[in-house]
């Protein structure tokens, strides 16, 4: 991320003939939640290995690793930094990372360079929510990990409790390396070792190192960074049980950080193959550049080297085109990061500050922190950046002031939405003003949530030269492509270059940029799009008496959750809810529980937006008016170029459609007009309630047809009734319920039977059994209606929501409830809803009509039983 220091040059006497001669070289990152004691532990290691004569203190602002003025002022690490030291024959490059969630993107990028990690746990706090996030990241990047539990001088929890919480909360084979049972525990990690152990053999150091490297075992050591306790033992374990990766002869490197000092742009990388020397030429894409200087940093100081071998972490100057996350040589570039900001902030410039020249400066910071995603909204003339939270906002303000001398303000953040597609389409872009030519065909298909954008080429080189193909892939990757619902970035889509055409004389590089961007947007215009929003996984702990309120709130937030867990008078609710709803909730929890409750959350990626219709409407985005992101194409006729609308492009394109060859053309579906047909509805009903039975009370077609003024549609109408909600909303039933709930239920069921008989509707009445201990889900047919009793701990409205969401947009389904949340779900699902009161009026009117029919029939026949008459 941002890196700005005053550098000094020191001599490094290990350099002989330009290369470090050491038997083992490993790169180790140090990770933990904020304030766990990482920097203090790193300082202790440097002191213990003789790298420092005196260990610095974070609290005094004099550590080797926290060197930036903002870090020293605040006593927190903001930028990853490194130190190199040796233990016996092992040379360790230690990368210290920030622990605050707001800077976790910097931490994630550092993982690219690591051979090993030390996960630091504070003996005071144990496993924290952010520890779980880091643990998942370590798994995702497959990094072997040591655990050091620090602050044991001050710990609230015992060693046993800490180990148990590691094992319970993080899923891994954590082994206490100080325990008598250590060998046995190690042997248990692999069958062949267990056999040997049972035969009396010990687990060797080499075998232990392999177990650790393959993440079958995670060694745990305990101590205190501040008091230097357990630090020697930890260093000894690292020396004994780590293996140096095997690097190929051919050159490769991974870029994990970009920074700037006063004069130079620094590219921080780890060499992963061959060697790198000053004046080497590094190729990337279609350009190449020369290494001017190689620096090996320790804190803010560095030594220069002529040449470095694989396994070295260094900063080089001269590679001005190289981007963060890029792979050099044989290394591929990194995919999209797992952690990313979910909030968008507006930067407000002081009077007289020119936005255009400020944007150029901000781009420098964006090189260091690509996740800033700096955006210029030309329409509003405003600048937006993506940030992780309030602390990062403050730090960005300070950095802008320090580096550019500009005092900006940053508005409170807004959630960052994304968009994706739900079906496979082919996007076509053609760009042919006079003496230009390019045509691009892209197959775009949805990927699972969290996949990001994936680009691939399946285009034959016979049809399009490899260089043009590379260029198209580069254009796909270089731009933040915007969706057509709200103009938010797109994600979770695989874009495959299926075909393309260049002109032997007229095609220029820029033509393919135009054709590619247009093809993406043309594809999006055809596809059914979907809005996504960021979610948190949350853990909400409240005193038992507040669990009802907590459940209600989470449901109001459109969250989902597991059944609450109870212990010691507290209930724990775990689940997932939209970031926008949870962000302000922590303060409310503290307030309604009198400070006894707590809410913690971690990013859970993007998922379907809970109120997409509202957000789409508010965004007021008209994709066809967004001229910078046009879906239209340019063709040429009679010596002049002309524009062709996106929905006509296929009629003009020069190459055949690629998708047409794969699957028959399916017309575009507008996301606002989805209906399921009777058959689908029937299938859902059958699955929920068994085969459709033709009921005894079916009215005669003749009689229903006679009732011309009854304005119900005579097709598969379905009415879902929230049983208790209606009982407590209708005065008669409410009165009855006060005496006997069962009688009220039976009465409602009777009323609904008559209603169903007359209207010929499919009626489902749902009764909530959430608070009924031991109750099993029960579904049965009562005469001509379906009755559902939910199971214990399943809320009736949760069941209705599920059913409504499953049925989806359908104007033939109505939900009767006054419950705001179900009403909301129904609106989102596009299903019609009706309040209990409105339904009462409808039932009354049906009742009146039944009376009329009865009267008519009575005049002709002496029968009096309505059921009998209607079932005839």
Ligand X SMILES: Nc1nc2c(ncn2[C@@H]2O[C@H](COP(=O)(O)OP(=O)(O)OP(=O)(O)O)[C@@H](O)[C@H]2O)c(=O)[nH]1
Nearest to 105 by CA among 603, 592, 547: 603
Q: Which does 84 bind (CB under 5 to 8 A by kind): ligand X, Mg ion, none?
A: none
Nearest to 552 by CA among 821, 777, 788, 806: 821
Task: Report the residue number, 39 or 522, with the smaller CB distance to Mg ion.
Answer: 39
Q: Which residues pair with 273 in a beta bridge?
A: 252
What are the Cα distances from residue 94, in Å, to 25, 85, 155, 839? 11, 8, 25, 69
- Minimal distance, residue 33 CB to ligand X, in Å: 7
Q: Which does 154 bind (CB under 5 to 8 A by kind): Mg ion, ligand X, none?
A: ligand X
What is the pattern of x (binds ligand X, CB under 6 A) and - over residues 77-106? x--------------------xxx------
What are the Cα distances from residue 530, in Å, to 492, 493, 527, 535, 606? 11, 12, 9, 16, 12
Three-class DSSP category at 690? coil
- Of residues 279 through 318, those in contact with Mg ion by CB under 5 A are none
Task: Report the residue number, 59 or 461, with the smaller CB distance to ligand X.
Answer: 59
Task: Check binding of 77 to Mg ion (CB under 5 A).
Answer: yes
Three-class DSSP category at 322? coil
Cα 667–chain centre separation: 31
Task: Check binding of 630 to Mg ion (CB under 5 A).
Answer: no
Q: How far apart are CA 326 and CA 254, in angstroms?
A: 6
- Of residues 60 through 79, those in contact with ligand X by CB under 6 A are 76-77
- Minimal distance, residue 389 CB to ligand X, in Å: 14
* Binding residue for ligand X, selected from 9, 10, 50, 59, defined by CB under 6 A: 59
* Binding residue for ligand X, selected from 73, 153, 545, 618, defined by CB under 6 A: 153
Q: What is the CA radius of gyration of the chain?
A: 33
Q: How far apart are CA 248 and CA 343, in angstroms?
A: 41
Q: What's phi and psi for 35, nearest 5 deg?
A: 65, 15
Q: How far apart are CA 571 and CA 550, in angstroms?
A: 10
Residues 41 and 122 sit within 8 Å (Cβ to Cβ): no
Q: How far apart are CA 549 and CA 560, in angstroms?
A: 15
Please list the alpha-helical segments (H only) found in 637-677: 649-652, 659-662
Burial tier of 275 (Cβ tally within 10 Å: 0-12, 13-18, 19+) = middle
Q: Which does 153 bind (CB under 5 to 8 A by kind): ligand X, Mg ion, none?
A: ligand X
Task: Check binding of 154 to ligand X (CB under 6 A).
Answer: yes
- Minimal distance, residue 77 CB to Mg ion, in Å: 3
Task: Check binding of 126 to ligand X (CB under 6 A).
Answer: no
Task: Check binding of 39 to ligand X (CB under 6 A).
Answer: yes
Q: Which does 147 bind (CB under 5 to 8 A by kind): ligand X, Mg ion, none?
A: none
Q: Which residues pair with 327 in a beta bridge?
A: 254
Task: Report the residue number, 178 or 280, with the smaller CB distance to ligand X.
Answer: 178
- Minimal distance, residue 225 CB to ligand X, in Å: 4
Q: How far apart are CA 480 and CA 165, in angstroms?
A: 41
Task: Check binding of 195 to ligand X (CB under 6 A).
Answer: no
* Binding residue for ligand X, selected from 29, 225, 386, 429, defined by CB under 6 A: 225
- Minimal distance, residue 134 CB to ligand X, in Å: 11
Q: Which residues pair with 578 in a beta bridge?
A: 535
**Distant-in-sequence, close-in-space partners of 230: CB < 8 Å, separation ≥ 6:** 148, 152, 221, 222, 223, 224
Residues 76 and 312 sit within 8 Å (Cβ to Cβ): no
- The residue whose Cβ lies closest to ligand X is 99
Number of residues that bind Mg ion (CB under 5 A): 3
Task: Check binding of 110 to Mg ion (CB under 5 A).
Answer: no
Task: Check binding of 475 to ligand X (CB under 6 A).
Answer: no
Q: Which does 64 bind (CB under 5 to 8 A by kind): Mg ion, ligand X, none?
A: none
Residues 757 and 867 sit within 8 Å (Cβ to Cβ): yes
Q: How far apart are CA 335 and CA 494, in angstroms?
A: 13
Task: Report the residue number, 74 or 541, with the smaller CB distance to Mg ion.
Answer: 74
Task: Report the residue number, 131 or 812, with the smaller CB distance to ligand X.
Answer: 131
Task: Check binding of 224 to ligand X (CB under 6 A).
Answer: yes
Tell me which stretch binds ligand X (CB under 6 A): 131-139, 147-155, 233-241, 527-535: 147-155
* Binding residue for ligand X, selected from 3, 28, 31, 40, defined by CB under 6 A: 40
Task: Check binding of 519 to ligand X (CB under 6 A).
Answer: no
Tell me which stretch binds ligand X (CB under 6 A): 37-45, 538-546, 759-767, 838-846: 37-45
Task: Report the residue number, 1 or 211, with the smaller CB distance to Mg ion.
Answer: 1
Place of tokens 């001398």: 405
**Distant-in-sequence, close-in-space partners of 462: CB < 8 Å, separation ≥ 6:** none
Nearest to 385 by CA among 417, 349, 343: 343
Task: Check binding of 151 to ligand X (CB under 6 A).
Answer: yes
Tell me which stretch binds Mg ion (CB under 5 A): 77-85, 204-212, 627-635, 706-714: 77-85
**Distant-in-sequence, close-in-space partners of 818: CB < 8 Å, separation ≥ 6:** 722, 725, 729, 835, 836, 837
* Binding residue for Mg ion, selected from 38, 109, 295, 576, defined by CB under 5 A: 38
* Binding residue for ligand X, selected from 1, 28, 34, 203, defined by CB under 6 A: 34
* H or E element in which residue 605 lies: strand 598-608
What is the pattern of x (binds Mg ion, CB under 5 A) and - over residues 401-440? ----------------------------------------
Q: How far apart are CA 187 and CA 167, in angstroms?
A: 18
- Minimal distance, residue 187 CB to Mg ion, in Å: 36
Task: Check binding of 478 to ligand X (CB under 6 A).
Answer: no
- Of residues 290 through 349, those in contact with ligand X by CB under 6 A are none
Tell me which stretch binds ligand X (CB under 6 A): 218-226, 294-302, 457-465, 762-770: 218-226
What are the Cα distances from residue 127, in Å, to 240, 459, 536, 539, 573? 27, 49, 18, 14, 18
Task: Report the residue number, 59 or 713, with the smaller CB distance to ligand X.
Answer: 59
* Dihedral Cα 329, 453, 114, 237, nearest 10 deg: -140
* Binding residue for ligand X, selected from 110, 128, 145, 150, defined by CB under 6 A: 150
* Binding residue for ligand X, selected from 38, 270, 418, 786, defined by CB under 6 A: 38
- Give contact residues for ligand X (rule: CB under 6 A): 32, 34-40, 58-59, 76-77, 98-100, 150-151, 153-154, 224-227
- Give contact residues for Mg ion (rule: CB under 5 A): 38-39, 77
């Amino acid at each position: 991320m941002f890196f700005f220091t005053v550098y000094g040059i020191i001599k490094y006497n290990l350099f002989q003939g330009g290369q470090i001669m050491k038997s083992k070289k490993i790169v180790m990152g140090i990770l933990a939640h904020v304030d766990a004691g990482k920097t203090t532990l790193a300082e202790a290691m440097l002191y213990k290995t003789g790298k420092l004569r005196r260990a610095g203190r974070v609290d005094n602002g004099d550590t080797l690793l926290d060197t930036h003025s903002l870090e020293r002022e605040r006593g927190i690490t903001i930028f990853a930094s490194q130190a190199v030291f040796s233990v016996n024959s092992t040379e360790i490059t230690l990368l210290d990372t920030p622990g605050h969630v707001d800077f976790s993107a910097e931490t994630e990028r550092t993982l690219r360079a690591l051979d090993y990690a030390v996960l630091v746990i504070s003996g005071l706090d144990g496993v924290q929510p952010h520890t779980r996030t880091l643990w998942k990241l370590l798994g995702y990047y497959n990094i072997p990990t040591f655990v050091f539990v620090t602050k044991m001088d001050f710990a609230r929890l015992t060693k046993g409790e800490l180990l148990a919480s590691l094992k319970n909360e993080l899923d891994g084979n954590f082994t206490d390396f100080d325990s008598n049972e250590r060998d046995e525990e190690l042997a248990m990690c692999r069958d062949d070792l267990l056999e040997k152990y049972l035969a009396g053999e010990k687990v060797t150091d080499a075998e232990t190192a392999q177990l650790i490297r393959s993440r079958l075992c995670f060694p745990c050591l305990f101590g205190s960074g501040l008091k230097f306790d357990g630090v020697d033992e930890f260093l000894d374990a690292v020396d004994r049980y780590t293996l140096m990766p095997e690097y190929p002869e051919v050159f490769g490197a991974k870029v994990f950080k970009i920074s700037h000092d006063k004069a130079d742009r620094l590219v921080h990388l780890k060499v992963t193959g061959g060697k790198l020397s000053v004046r080497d030429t590094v190729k990337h894409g279609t350009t190449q550049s020369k290494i001017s200087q190689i620096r090996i940093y320790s804190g803010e100081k560095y030594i220069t080297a002529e040449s470095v071998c694989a396994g070295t972490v260094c900063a080089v100057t001269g590679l001005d085109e190289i981007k963060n996350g890029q792979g050099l040589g044989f290394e591929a570039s990194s995919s999209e990061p797992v952690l990313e900001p979910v909030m968008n902030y507006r930067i407000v410039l002081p009077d007289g500050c020119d936005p255009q020249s400020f944007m150029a400066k901000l781009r420098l910071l964006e090189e260091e922190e690509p996740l800033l995603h700096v955006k210029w909204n030309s329409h509003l003339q405003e600048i937006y950046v993506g940030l992780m939270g309030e602390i990062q906002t403050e730090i960005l303000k300070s950095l802008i002031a320090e580096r550019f001398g500009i005092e900006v303000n940053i508005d409170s953040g807004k959630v960052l939405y994304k968009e994706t597609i739900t079906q496979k389409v082919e996007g076509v872009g053609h760009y042919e003003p006079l003496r230009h030519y390019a045509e691009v065909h892209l197959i775009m298909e949805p990927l699972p949530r969290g996949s990001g954008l994936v680009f691939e080429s399946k285009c034959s080189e016979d049809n399009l030269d490899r260089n043009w193909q590379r260029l198209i892939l580069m254009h796909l990757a270089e731009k933040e492509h915007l969706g057509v619902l709200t103009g938010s970035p797109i994600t979770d889509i695989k874009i495959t270059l299926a075909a393309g055409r260049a002109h032997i004389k007229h095609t220029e590089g820029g033509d393919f940029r135009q054709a590619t961007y247009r093809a993406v947007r043309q594809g999006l215009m055809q596809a059914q799009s979907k809005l996504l929003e960021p979610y948190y996984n949350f853990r909400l702990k409240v005193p038992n008496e507040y669990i009802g309120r907590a459940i209600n709130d989470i449901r109001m937030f459109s969250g989902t959750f597991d059944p609450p867990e109870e212990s010691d008078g507290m209930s724990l609710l775990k689940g997932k809810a939209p970031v926008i709803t949870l962000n302000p909730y922590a303060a409310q929890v503290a307030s309604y529980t009198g400070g006894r409750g707590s809410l913690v959350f971690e990013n859970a990626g993007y998922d379907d937006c809970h109120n997409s219709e509202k957000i789409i409407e508010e965004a007021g985005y008209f994709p066809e008016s967004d001229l910078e992101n046009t879906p239209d194409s340019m063709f040429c006729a009679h010596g002049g170029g002309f524009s062709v609308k996106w929905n006509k492009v296929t009629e003009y394109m020069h190459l055949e459609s690629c998708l047409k060859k794969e699957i028959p053309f399916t017309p575009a579906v507008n996301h606002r007009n989805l209906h399921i047909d009777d058959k689908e509805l029937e299938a859902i009903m059958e699955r929920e309630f068994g085969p459709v039975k033709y009921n005894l009370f079916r009215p005669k077609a003749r009689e229903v047809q006679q009732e011309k003024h009854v304005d119900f549609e005579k097709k598969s109408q379905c009415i879902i009734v929230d049983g208790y909600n209606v009982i407590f909303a209708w005065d008669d039933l409410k009165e009855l319920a006060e005496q006997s709930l069962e009688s009220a239920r039976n009465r409602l069921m009777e009323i609904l039977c008559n209603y169903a008989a007359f209207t010929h509707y499919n009626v489902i009445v749902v009764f909530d059994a959430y608070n009924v201990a031991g109750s099993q889900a029960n579904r049965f047919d009562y005469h001509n209606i379906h009755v559902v009793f939910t199971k214990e701990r399943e809320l009736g409205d949760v069941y209705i929501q599920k059913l409504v969401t499953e049925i989806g947009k359908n104007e033939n389904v109505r939900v009767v409830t006054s419950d705001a949340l179900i009403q909301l779900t129904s609106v989102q699902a596009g299903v019609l809803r009706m309040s209990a009161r409105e339904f009462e009026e409808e039932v009354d009117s049906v009742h009146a009509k039944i009376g009329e029919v009865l009267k008519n029939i009575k005049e002709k026949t002496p029968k009096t039983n309505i059921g009998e008459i209607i079932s005839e």
